[in-house]
Every structure is written in C-alpha cells, then in structure tokens.
Chain A
C-alpha cells in the first residue's frame, strides 16, 4: 500500500488511476499467492517463501528420507532373522528327531539289522541338515557371515567344511545404533574349532614402516593421533602427529622439531620409542589438552626422570598384520622356518616356509596347502591361530624337524599338553599298579606306574627317564622333533629289541600313543592330541556310524552331543526371536516417530486451509471493492458537465 502524502493538495487523474491500479494489482498478487497455496495445499513452494522455516523443512525431509533407509534395513534384518528363526526351528526339530532315533536304538531289544535300517534315517537327517546349513534367503546364505555369496558348508575329506565367515554383517538401525542382521553360522552349527591359538605373544618388533594403526598402544586401544609437547628443560616444542602414518613419521617429526639435542629412536627392546638428550637435559613429554597421543605412544613423562636420563618408552604392542615380516615376529627374534606338518582327517601336508617372508606368506602357505585348515591372525593381533573348519576331522599340527610350531605357539601336541586333555578329552586311562613295562635291547625291564602325580607329557617323559636310570636300562624318552608324539629310544645297543607291554590291562600306553610298532631301536608314539571340530555334522556322522556299527556306547555319546547341539540351537533361536522382537518394536517406534515428524513437516510446509480460505475471501472482497470504486471514481469527471 502506497503511503499517500497526508496533505495532498490536488488529485491528478494519473494519481487516481495509478493508486487504483496499484491497489488492484497488489490485491490480485496476494490473491494468486493464496490461490496457489489453496491449489497446491502448500504454504512453502520455494525456500525463499520463508528461508528459516524452509531450512527446518529441508532438515525434516532429510530425516524422513534417512528413516526410509533405516526402515528398509530393519525390514531386511527382520526378514533375514525371521528366516534364520524358522531355520533354527527346523534344525532343532531334526536334532530332536535324531535323538529319538538314537534312544530308540539303544538296548538289546533292537536288532542290529534294525539299527542299520535306522541309520539310514540319520543319514537322511544329516543331508537335510547340510541343506539347512546352506539355506539361502533372497540370494544370501544365512549362515555364511560376510561370505554370504557362497554356500558356507561343503563336503570335504569325509567331513563337512565351513567355508563361511564367523564375522556377521550389521547395518544401521538408527543414527546411533547398528545391529546384526545375521547370526554366526559357526556358532549355530558348532562349525569351527578354535583350540590351536598361539599360546605365546608373537608380537612383532617395531620398524620404521610399522603403521600407527597397527599399534595397540599402551592402553590396548590403539594410538589416537594428536599433538604432543616435548621439552628438554630448556627448549620445548609442540609436535603435531596428526598426519603421522608410520613409526618413522613419528621419529622424523620429533627429530625434525630439533628440540635441543633430543633425538628419537626405538628402545633397546624394540617394542617402543626412546627419547635421548644431552647430559644436562631434563626431558618431559606431555599431551596437549585432552590428548592422549604421548600416552598411547608410551612416552608420556610429565615429570623428568632425572637430569640426563633418557625417556624409555613402554611396550606399545605392535599388532601382527599380513604385512608383518616373519623375521620381526616374537619381538624381533623371528621364528624357525623349518616348517610345519599339518594333518587333517585323511590329508597331511608339510608346510614349507623357506620362501616365506611375511606373515601373509605364512598364512597363504597353510591356507593353500589344501588340508582344509584355516590359518588367521588372532583378533588382538598378538599371534596366529589355526582353525579346523571341517567337522568330524581330526587336525594335528607338528614340527617339521625344527621349532616353527613351537615358536608360533601352534603345536597341537607337545610336552606341555595335559594328560587329561589327550584323546579328545578322554585323557589317559591308568590302572592301580604298573601301567606298562619297557624292556631294553639288553633285556633290562622296568615298570611305569602313572598316577595323579603325572599331569602333563613332560611328567611322563621324566617318569620314564627316571625309572630307566634307576633300573639301569638304556632307554630314553623324548618328544618327536618331526611330527608329534612320545619317542622311546633304546641306547643299550643290546642284541634284543626294545619292547613295551601293557600291564594290569592298563590302556595308558595306548592312550599315550605308545602302542606303535618298534622300528629299529625306537618306538615313535602316535599323536594322541588331535583337534576335532565338534558340531552338529560331526555328531550326526558319529551317530550314523555308531548305529551302522552297532556301537551302543557311541550311540549314547553321540546322542548326548546332539542334545548339546539341540540346547545350543534352541538357545540361539531364543536370542534370534528376541532380536526380531526388538526390531519389530524399533519399526513401530520409527512409524510413530514418522507420524509426528510428518505432522511437524505439514505444519511448516502445508497450507492452513482455514486461514488461507478466510484470507482468500477477504482479498476477494477487497478486490471487488477496489474494482467497484475504481470504476465509479474514474468515470466521474467535470468534463461530463461541460457544454
């Protein structure tokens, strides 16, 4: 509305016409805006209609669009987990069925023919189980973890091999929550044995190329990049390590800062840093603000260690990565590269490490040996582990004449093995009195009585060697340098042959693997500490075999193991059910949130119809009035009265 001068002395025709015209145009402009609001139902048609509110509207729209993704994720997770849920149901049904068959076939009332017939049922259950294990849903194998594009179970060397991954996939359920949408197939099926884990700390020594991301740091939580303050008591500098990638970068950064005569290097033990200064320096190294870089790097020294004392950093625990050189393992001591002998089921391989330079080469040598053994780096990066992914097969890892397996802490059977763990946990069965008698080639004999005093294999070796000395027999007991097993060597050099015989019907010698034939002057004992991956398939296999062979003890054992499988599957089904429920409640909450958010968006973006229609009416009236007055006023003129 134009502001007309209050004291208009005269009104010209143009003024009258312009005023009317402007008024009509303005009303019409407002009218068309209101009309547009009514027609589109939207108050904001372009951000400039109300920049402040539009920004909020844009953010709300983004939130809604983002929630679409979360909703899809939740729906996918729900679908996938529901499929897992029903599959787990089928698995438990089959396990139950197998157990019923097993219990019906124990006892003397069942003939062997009937057992053999029933074993066919178990066989069919077994193959159904394999099918369930390889079940796919919408193109994803539900038990394969992050290898979901391939079936996770495969027949291998008489067993079933797990080719999937124990790493389950997750996705975002909202801004701050991620959730698994798979279950760990290995856990469901009991598919992986993890017994051979490096018992030693194989952590490598630091080198210049060691990446900061490959360090556990002093706290075990990695190294947080940041700025550290270094002072020699006189000079000081802040050193920005935000862009440091490797240990060499850290050392260079400190040395390039040239604080007095301070220099950085690796410490003597090769597992940390060392800052050395001149004789009169009082070195302090601090973190700036809330930083923790110096602490993580093991060199934080808020108080000087004394005049001239260097700062010797603590162990910052470099992790093993595929790129780690073998020579730097075991804190720089390296490992013996004589190699390993690995056997799994019917397959045996000698792992040649002569050309291996990195841990990856080592892993490749084992994984590529086609014995169905999977080698990987332990999650904490302190060593390796060997998995036997083939259910029902026995895995053994021994030396190839050197110390490789021992250096890596991966020997499956050694002098430290507990007697109670041998023979897949059955242990060594002893009798009161002598368990076995050893006779040397001169005919000097001595008895060995194993008691609770002998805890591990070394104790047995000691007992044999002590008894041999006491008896004056030329026999030494030792542990095999190649492969695994107790070795008895005759040193008497007599005319007879070395002999070992069980006493008192004791099975101890057999359980120790000493029932092997005499070759020359030695008895090379068997490896009796195999690693067996337990699980549904192995147990089914065992049950079927036991039934076919009429081994009632075996049937009972297998049935008990299947009971455990059943319990585990039922427990996991419960977990999955709980997760599906959680996802459903999340979906409901998301839908509720969407309703209120959409309402908010509508409040901002949409036309308030009551208001708009009222305004429309008002404007209409106003326009009508303008038109009418204009029509009348512009028509009035004195000219009409002239004659």
Chain B
C-alpha cells in the first residue's frame, strides 16, 4: 500500500481506457465494413493487495484482452448459405441466357419459324405448280435451318463463355485458397500459439477470404488449436495447414465436346462441388449440353423425317443428275455399318427409280432392293451403285463417297424417285429437302434452293399432285419413330418447357437462398456488427473512466506534494 501503488493503479486505468477508446475508435472506423467483426475489450478486476491480514485493497483494473464478438458456427452457416445463394444465382443468371436463346413466347422464335415453314407447305398444296409458293417454301426452309444454326451457334458461344467463366472462377478460388493458407501461417506466427491470443485483423481477413471461397465452392472448415483453419471440399482437403492444394481447370473431350473440368492442382483430381458458383456453372453446362443435344435431335428428326417423304416425292421436273448430300466414309461396308459415318441409318426395303423420256412423257420404272437385314450380303454404297448402274438409262457412280446418279440421255430424259420404304435415299441425301443432320449443319439442299422446280410436292408422279406437300405439312404434329413416337411440336415444346422449368426453379431458389443469406447475415450483424450508438456510449464511458483515472493521478500527485511538504 503506497501512493506509488495508487499512482500505478491510476496509470493502469489510463492505459486500459485509452486502449478501450482505441478499440471503440477502431470499431467506429470500421462501422461500414461488412466483414468487420466488432471488437470489445475485456477489462477485469486486478488482483487484490493485502493491507493487513484479512483486509484486501483493490489494485484497479487490468485489460485481459481485446476479443472479436463472433459466433463461429454462425459464420459457417453464413458461408454455406452463400454457397447455396451463389449456386442458385449462377444457375438463374446463365439459364436465363440459355432460355433467351429460344426467345419463346414471341413471334421471333423457332416454333413460329417451324409453323411458317410447315404452313408454307400447306399453302403449296393449294397450288403445287406455283413457283412463287415453291420459293416461299425454300425460303422458309432456309429460315428454319438458319434459325437452328443460330441457336446452335449461340449455345456454343454460351458454352464457351461458360467455360471461360469456370476458368476465371477456378482461378479466383485458387488465389483465395492460396491466401487462406498464407493467412493461416501469419495467424499462427502472430498468435504464437498463446491461449486466448487473437490476431483479429488477420482473422477478419481470413474470414473474408473463406466467405469469398464459399461463394465459389461449397467448403467445410475445421479450426485447429493453433489457429489454423483447414478447408475441405467434400472430403478432399483444399487448404491444409499452411499449404493450398490449388485449383485449376483442364479441358477434356467427352462425346466430341470439350468439357472444362475443375480439378486440384496438386494431383489433378476432380474438385466436386455441388454448390457454390462453380457447382452452379457446372450444372448449367450440363443443362446446356442436354438442351443442345435435344436441339440436335430435333434438327436431325426434322431433316430425316421430312427427307423421307421428300425423297419419295417428285418435283415439277426430274433430275438430269443428282448428287447425294451425305458423304459415306467407307463405301464398301453395309450401309448400317458405323464405318459409313451415316448419322441416320436406312433399313431393308426398296425404292423405285423412274427414268422419264421428256418428249413422250413415258417413264421406265425399276425397283431397287435394299438388303440390310444383317444376313447374307448387305447393301453397301458400292453394291447400290452397281445395282443402279444396271438400270437402263442411268449411270451411277460414287462422287467422293456421295452417290451420284445421272440420266444418260439428259437433257431429253430425267430421273425421279418414289416409294422408298428403306429410307436409303433420305440417308444418302438423294432428292432431299434438307442436307445436314445436326442443328449446326442443317441447311436446305443446294439443288433445291437453286431450282425450286425440284421441290417434291407430288407423290404419284403427276406434276400437279400435292400429296407429298400435304404429308410434309402435317409432319409437325405427326408422331415420329425417330422421336420415340413423339411429334416435332411436342418435342420442341418439351425442350422449351424443360429449360423454362429449370430457369424458374433456379430463380425461385436464388430468391429463397438470398433470403437465407440475408437472415443469417442479419443474425451475424446483430452479434458482430458495429453500432455507432453503442460505440458512442462506450466512448463516453471510457472517456469518463479516463478522465476519472487522470483525476486520481492529480489527487495522488497532490497527496505526494502534501507528503513531500511534510519533509520540509
């Protein structure tokens, strides 16, 4: 018990309150920082001093520490909710871009184009001989094909964008993981393993990085006693101690498409995240690929089924020479062999080839058998050429893998086809309306667009017949074998509805998860956020405490003076 002790006590008080004021100042300075965790000093009573046995005198206060007001479990939940929100958000954003490729519910969409196209066939049936209407059919066919090409192109570029975005996000995740590993090291060094020690600024920084990382991939964190946080993606560690395993992307080719995969840098293992932005982007890519495949299927069915009717029909005039639009890779194998590279397979059956003498108007017809039952010798392009070549009045040859049939006496004779039950003409692209079998390659057969007279509206050989045109006009709503019994119309509607439902679901879940994020963040703010009013009160409190302590110093000083005066 001494005046010096009292002076010390006051000095302590000054120092503690000064620290408290500094903490408050720090809090006030960070009031707008959303990642800041409110700090508060823990001031405890100092150890008593025994005055005489049984009587203790207090020695003032001591600053036990300055701590962050944080609930680690809540932080974890915030991170998870961020993963979910970013997952749904990415899906919503990108799926609506996919949806906008379809541009449905407007007059500028594929379904309207298809309607216009099939309606043009229906109109052609009213006047099959009209070249103007034929031109309209060709033009609307070109529109449909271009529409398919454009949609495919947009999906491809969307896919490329998505790949870039995946790469950028993976790079970001890699940087964040690196930073977290680095901060782990700094925090252990700063805190030196002391119990209760907290490198608050560093920890705040690390928490911010963790949140950012959680936005990208769904993570799980486990804090070690030494202050290190280990980060796991699924069951794979991403950051362990002070090392990050790193995140990068690789390109793999699956089914002819380049697939960008997010992998660990250290061992190339796939980084499987179902949530977070990366998870959302991956899901969107799968949906996009599915939609693109559906679009291809639709284009292929449209092309093949229409061609099947068209190739058995006849135009206003026949062909002097016709070249198939499909190239056969191997002309010696059966047409059902995958080595032919045919996208659509013909089957056993037959077709009739007519050679018409234009002057007399008389035709000679020959039945050509297609044997593809897998037993005996099946028809190959070469054997078909031999068969066709044997037919009087025509010459057949392979034009670089494409079937070419020429009328010997052209231009006084011409060729036409009918009654193809095998689909071989459609498969080889002979007398077809569309060429190409995928959304990206479908186009109107050049021969038809050059000469709309060749457009096959007739089925019975009479120039004014409209049966083929009528069949084609009703193709859109007819059940098709190549679509498993569904129609072009219902398949397309299904596609649009599918992507719309996915977008709507993503939208709804984005909205819902945003609410969850807000709620959790509100909870976090309630605990960890800075309130200026509170700080103002604290400020006043510490100010007064500081002033009090200073007054104690003054008093003790006066006491000292008094004491020293006694000595004089």
Spell out A's residues near B (CB within 8 Å): 1-5, 8-15, 18-19, 22, 44-51, 54-55, 57-59, 61-62, 65-66, 68-70, 72-73, 76-77, 80, 138-140, 144-150, 165, 167, 169-172, 175, 178, 181, 209, 211, 213, 243, 245-246, 249, 252, 256, 322-323, 358, 360-361, 364, 367-368, 605, 637-639, 641-642
Contact = CB atoms under 8 A, between A and B. Distances in A.
- Most B C-beta atoms less than 10 A away, residue of A44, A171, A358, A637: A171
Contact of A15 (B352, B507, B522): B522
Contact of A209 (B362, B369, B375): B369
A146 B130 contact: no
B143 to A, nearest CB: 14
7 contacts: A48-B503, A58-B493, A69-B118, A73-B123, A76-B127, A146-B462, A150-B463
Nearest to A70: B122
Given A47-B500, A62-B111, A642-B540, A3 B515 contact: yes
Given A48-B99, A181-B126, A360-B363, A14 B525 contact: yes
B500 A171 contact: no
B529 A12 contact: yes
B373 interface: yes
A69 B360 CA distance: 37
A638 B28 CA distance: 12
Interface in B314-358: 316, 347-350, 352
B119 interface: yes
B1 interface: no
B156 interface: no
B100 interface: yes
B536 interface: yes
A639 B530 CA distance: 14
B525 A55 contact: no
A605 B464 CA distance: 42
A167 B466 CA distance: 11
Nearest to A137: B127
B34 A61 contact: no
B497 A54 contact: yes
B31 A243 contact: no
Contacts of A55: 493, 496-497, 500
Contacts of B526: 5, 8-12, 15
A55 B496 CA distance: 8
A605 B362 CA distance: 57
A69 B118 CA distance: 9
B466 to A, nearest CB: 5
Nearest to B534: A10
A55 B492 CA distance: 11
A360 to B, nearest CB: 5
Given A46-B100, A171-B122, A360-B365, A3 B519 contact: yes
Contacts of B501: 48, 51
B104 interface: yes
B506 to A, nearest CB: 8
B63 interface: no
Contact of B123 (A22, A47, A69, A146): A69
Given A55-B493, A57-B105, A146-B462, A68 B119 contact: yes
B46 interface: no
A139 B130 contact: yes
B533 A637 contact: yes
Given A323-B367, A367-B362, A138 B127 contact: yes
Interface string B460-485: 10111110001001100100000000
B496 A47 contact: yes
Given A12-B529, A213-B421, A638-B532, A18 B521 contact: yes
A169 B373 contact: no
Contact of B122 (A19, A69, A140): A69
Nearest to A359: B365
A140 B129 contact: yes
Given A18-B522, A65-B112, A46 B105 contact: yes
A358 B391 CA distance: 14
A570 to B, nearest CB: 27
A167 B364 contact: no
Given A5-B522, A48-B95, A139-B129, 7 more contacts: A12-B530, A54-B104, A61-B105, A209-B350, A245-B348, A368-B362, A637-B536
B122 A72 contact: yes
B473 A69 contact: yes
A73 B126 contact: yes
A502 to B, nearest CB: 46
A642 B537 CA distance: 9
B96 interface: yes
A65 B115 contact: yes
Contacts of A76: 123, 126-127
B469 to A, nearest CB: 9
B362 to A, nearest CB: 4
A596 B364 CA distance: 54
A169 B464 CA distance: 8
B172 interface: no
Contact of A140 (B123, B127, B362, B515): B127
A62 B522 contact: no
Contact of B496 (A44, A58, A246, A249): A58
